[in-house]
């Protein structure tokens, strides 16, 4: 087990946002946290990243596991070039770091853009640069907080493919927060559904479909329908053979 969350809760002032969330993520898994906005899914991720320490419960990540984080916005440092942004997380010899960063910039398709400043980049390019910056530190666990939500549909698809390519190349464990059901279904091995006020983990869905998946496939369509029903709190009409309730692994 790479990462384990036990009885995670978070309150902001008087308001309990998150309650009793338990889950674990295995090495090399892609897991999506899905929920409506304000459900606390980003809160879970920030706690995992160590950006928030005022949570209740317990998070355990083995100390040898490096954690990388990709934010919703690129958050590049505007005074640094793409290359300097990419090397930001590295220590030690500058030449070596730059060589390394160039390799990752090439991977994300920004080879030609290393001398540009963030203001000269499109939204998609900026987010690619942010991905390169996170990858350069060679994280074992990559946390992504709605990383593609601000991008146009086409760029979004390209970056989703990129994420899968990264996963295939490095075997990175990926935890992705999203409100986009299609994205969660296209990418994930498991979809964790957060629901309720305060939010709890309502479902742990195993998406047992092989990759590469086809975006328009009937199987994904069925899944989407089921998840929408779940989110709306409708009577569950989905096929139970595909779904595992929390605690029961398929």
Partner 1 sequence: MWKKLRTHPVLLGSLLPIVLLAAWEILSRAGVIPAYQLPAPSAILSTIITYLQDGSLQDHVLLTVYRLFVGFIIGTIAAILLGTLVGYSELAERFFDPLIQAFRSIPSLAWVPLFILWMGIGETSKVTLIAVGVFFPVYLNIVDGIRGVDRKLIEVGRMYGLDGVALVRRIILPASLPSFLTGLRSGLGLGWMFVVAAEIMGASQGLGYLLILGQNTYAPDVIIASIFLFALLGKLTDWVLKIIQKRSLHWQDTALAK
Applying CB under 8 A, the residues found at the interface with partner 1 are 49, 51, 69, 71, 73, 75, 77-80, 88-89, 117-119, 137
First CA to last CA across the chain, in angstroms? 17
Longest dimension (CA), the chain: 60
Minimum distance from residue 123 beta carbon to partner 1 (Å): 13
Between vectors from CA 141 to CA 103 and to CA 153, what angle results, nearest 5°? Answer: 70
3-state secondary structure of 192: strand
Report the residue number, 49 or 201, with the smaller CB distance to partner 1. Answer: 49
Minimum distance from residue 209 beta carbon to partner 1 (Å): 32
Report the residue number, 142 or 205, with the smaller CB distance to partner 1. Answer: 142
Report the residue number, 15 or 119, with the smaller CB distance to partner 1. Answer: 119
**248/102 Cα distance (integer angstroms):** 44
Bin 69: left if φ > 0, else alpha if -120 < ψ < 50, else beta.
beta
Report the residue number, 51 or 208, with the smaller CB distance to partner 1. Answer: 51
Report the residue number, 176 or 220, with the smaller CB distance to partner 1. Answer: 176
Residue-wise burial string across 201-229, b where 16 or more C-beta atoms lie within 10 A, e elsewhere: bbbbbebebeeeeeeeeeebeebeebbee
Minimum distance from residue 39 beta carbon to partner 1 (Å): 21
Minimum distance from residue 14 beta carbon to partner 1 (Å): 23
Minimum distance from residue 78 beta carbon to partner 1 (Å): 5
């Amino acid at each position: 087990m790479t990462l384990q969350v036990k009885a995670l809760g978070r309150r902001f002032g008087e308001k309990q946002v998150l309650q009793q969330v338990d889950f674990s993520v295995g090495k090399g898994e892609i897991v999506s946290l899905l929920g409506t906005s304000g459900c606390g899914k980003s809160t879970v991720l920030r706690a995992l990243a160590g950006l928030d320490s005022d949570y209740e419960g317990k998070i355990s990540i083995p100390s040898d596991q490096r954690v990388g984080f990709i934010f919703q916005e690129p958050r590049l440092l505007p005074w640094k070039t793409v290359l300097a942004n990419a090397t930001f997380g590295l220590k030690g010899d500058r030449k070596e770091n730059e060589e390394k960063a160039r390799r990752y910039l090439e991977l994300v398709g920004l080879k030609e853009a290393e001398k540009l400043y963030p203001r000269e980049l499109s939204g998609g390019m900026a987010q690619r640069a942010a991905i390169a910056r996170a990858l350069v530190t060679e994280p074992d666990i990559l946390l992504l907080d709605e990383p593609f939500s601000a991008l146009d549909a086409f760029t979004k698809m390209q970056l989703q493919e990129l994420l899968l390519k990264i996963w295939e190349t490095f075997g990175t464990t990926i935890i992705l927060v999203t409100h986009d059901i299609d994205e969660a279904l296209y990418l994930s091995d498991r979809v964790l559904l957060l629901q309720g006020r305060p939010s709890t983990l309502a479902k742990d869905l195993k998406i047992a479909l092989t990759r590469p998946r086809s975006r328009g496939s009937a199987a994904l369509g069925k899944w989407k329908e089921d998840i929408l029903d779940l989110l709306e709190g409708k009577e569950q009409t989905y096929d139970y053979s595909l779904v595992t309730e929390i605690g029961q692994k398929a």
